[in-house]
């Protein structure tokens, strides 16, 4: 990110004065394994990325919040004398939801000019929404000397998306964005928020993210649908074994009580959650012990379960995964994120990265008509203020 260019864009939009500008950053995230387990009380294994969302802020000494971004044309000016309301489907709902949550906790906000600039691919499933939420939460925490704990800021980001935006997401995205550590992935219990930062030592391998560039228009509605389906499975199983979340069950217990779920679609959804939760444990153990081939096999099994049992992949994700797996040196490939478009993440031998991106990309284009974008991924830190402007 060229900060000089961003500062000039800020001045072009809001003008120059002597009031200092502050700069904040929050990363995107990729989940290595453990998909759709977070809102089911399970484990996940995400990491923060080195790219994300930047936010420049300056007090404007007026009772208005002015929000703009270099990524979209839509801007908004919010009077602080009125209740904050949702604005159709605009991107500003993510920061506005955070601000409303802070107000509900007693924060009296004064007027600020805000300019966001993100280098997370739009609609890629790399948590651009959580990145916007956390960069906003961290910025207001710092600017108003709130000293809110970082986990509480993560919860505020999730609450903004649940209560204001209207997506029933779990806490994984906000947690990874807020708590990420460079060169580590987070082994997170989404029920208790206990976590362990696990070093990611890939030796001769590289994580490669591939963006299908398929619009994720179904993602939010289908996400909420899957949440409802999992809740139905919990109610069915609770007739024989009282549980609050599907992830409380291991594979053996699920087999014992699966007959209580009469609907075959609901049964498949539950089977994915329980088996995926177990795969997270196995994958973390494999990474810690240097068994990268096993880690890759678990990534493959995760995608196959998301395709067959959870049904959140689609032809674009499936094609990109299938074509990537054909390349010698690719030992694991899976969708990451909510699904229905977005991205895959693959574990690739260093010397095979260029070939994988070229050949899988060409085959994907021939089969879908879309062009995939590839990003060899570096693991970065969580949300923070940048002081070296």
- Dmax (CA) for the chain in angstroms is 69
Packed helices 292-308 and 264-288: angle between N→C axes, nearest 10 degrees: 170
Do the strands 112-118 and 64-69 form a parallel or antiparallel pair, or are they unpaired? parallel
pLDDT at 220: 67
Residues with Cβ within 8 Å of residue 121, at least 6 apart in sequence: 211, 213, 343, 373
Helix (DSSP H) and strand (DSSP E) numbers for the chain: 11, 13
Structure tokens at 205: 């391998």
Domain 205-376 has CATH 3.30.70.890: yes
pLDDT at 134: 98
pLDDT at 224: 86
Element of type H or E holding 198: strand 195-199
User: Phi and psi for 101 in degrees, rounded to 5?
Assistant: -65, -40
pLDDT at 218: 56
pLDDT at 100: 96
- The one-digit pLDDT tens for each residue of the chain (389 residues) are 789 999 999 999 999 999 999 999 999 999 999 999 999 999 999 999 999 999 999 999 999 999 999 999 999 999 998 999 999 878 999 999 999 999 999 999 999 999 999 988 766 667 889 999 999 999 999 999 999 999 999 999 999 999 999 888 889 999 999 999 999 999 999 999 999 999 999 999 999 999 999 876 655 678 889 999 999 999 999 999 999 999 999 999 999 999 999 999 999 999 999 999 999 999 999 999 999 999 999 999 999 999 999 999 999 999 999 999 999 999 999 999 889 889 999 999 999 999 999 999 999 999 999 999 999 999 999 999 998 76
Q: Where are the domains of the chain?
A: 3-199+380-386, 205-376
Marked catalytic residue, from 113, 141, 173, 309 = 173
pLDDT at 346: 98
pTM of the model: 0.92
pLDDT at 215: 76
Q: To the nearest 5 percent, what fractions of the chain are helix, strand and coil?
A: 45, 20, 35
Cβ 271 vs Cβ 254: under 8 Å: yes
Residues with Cβ within 8 Å of residue 178, at least 6 apart in sequence: 26, 134, 137, 138, 150, 151, 153, 154, 157, 382, 383
Element of type H or E holding 359: helix 353-368
Element of type H or E holding 205: strand 205-211
- The dotted CATH code for 3-199+380-386 is 3.30.230.10
pLDDT at 53: 96
Q: How many CA atoms lie within 13 A of 124 on its CB side?
A: 25
The answer to whether residue 173 is catalytic is yes
pLDDT at 154: 97
Q: Which residue, among 109, 91, 52, 329, has the nearest Cα to 204 in the 3D structure?
A: 329
């Amino acid at each position: 990110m060229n900060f000089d260019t961003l500062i000039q864009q800020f001045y072009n939009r809001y003008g120059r004065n002597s009031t200092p500008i502050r700069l904040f950053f929050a990363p995107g995230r990729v989940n290595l394994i453990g998909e759709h387990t977070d809102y089911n009380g399970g484990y996940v294994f995400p990491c923060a990325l080195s790219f994300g969302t930047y936010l420049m802020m300056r007090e404007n000494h007026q009772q208005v919040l002015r929000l703009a971004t270099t990524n979209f044309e839509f801007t908004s000016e919010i009077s602080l004398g009125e209740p904050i309301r949702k604005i159709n489907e605009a991107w500003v709902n993510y920061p506005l939801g955070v601000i409303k949550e802070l107000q509900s906790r007693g924060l009296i906000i004064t007027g600020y000019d805000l300019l966001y600039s993100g280098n997370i691919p739009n609609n890629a499933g790399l948590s651009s929404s959580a990145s916007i939420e956390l960069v906003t939460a961290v910025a207001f925490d710092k600017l108003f000397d709130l000293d809110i704990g970082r986990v509480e800021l993560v919860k505020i980001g999730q609450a903004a998306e649940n209560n204001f935006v209207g997506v029933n997401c779990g806490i994984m995205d906000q947690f990874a964005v807020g708590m990420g550590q460079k060169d580590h992935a987070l082994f997170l219990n989404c029920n208790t928020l206990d976590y362990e930062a696990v070093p990611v030592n890939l030796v001769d391998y590289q994580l490669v993210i591939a963006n299908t560039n398929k619009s994720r228009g179904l993602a939010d509605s289908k996400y909420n649908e899957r949440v409802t389906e999992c809740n139905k499975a919990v109610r069915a199983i609770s007739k024989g074994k009282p549980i609050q979340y599907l992830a409380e069950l291991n594979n053996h217990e699920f087999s014992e009580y699966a007959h209580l779920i009469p609907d075959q679609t609901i049964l498949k959804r539950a089977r994915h959650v329980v088996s995926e939760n177990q795969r997270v444990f196995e994958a973390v153990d494999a990474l810690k012990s240097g068994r990268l081939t096993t880690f890759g096999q678990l990534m493959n099994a995760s995608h196959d379960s998301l395709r067959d049992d959870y049904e959140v992949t689609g032809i674009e994700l499936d094609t990109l995964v299938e074509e990537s797996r054909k390349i010698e040196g690719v030992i694991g490939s899976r969708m990451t994120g909510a699904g229905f478009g977005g991205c895959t993440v693959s574990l690739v031998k260093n010397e095979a990265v260029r070939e994988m991106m070229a050949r899988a990309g060409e085959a994907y284009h021939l089969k879908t008509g879309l062009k995939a974008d590839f990003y060899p991924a570096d693991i970065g830190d969580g949300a923070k203020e940048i002081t070296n402007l």
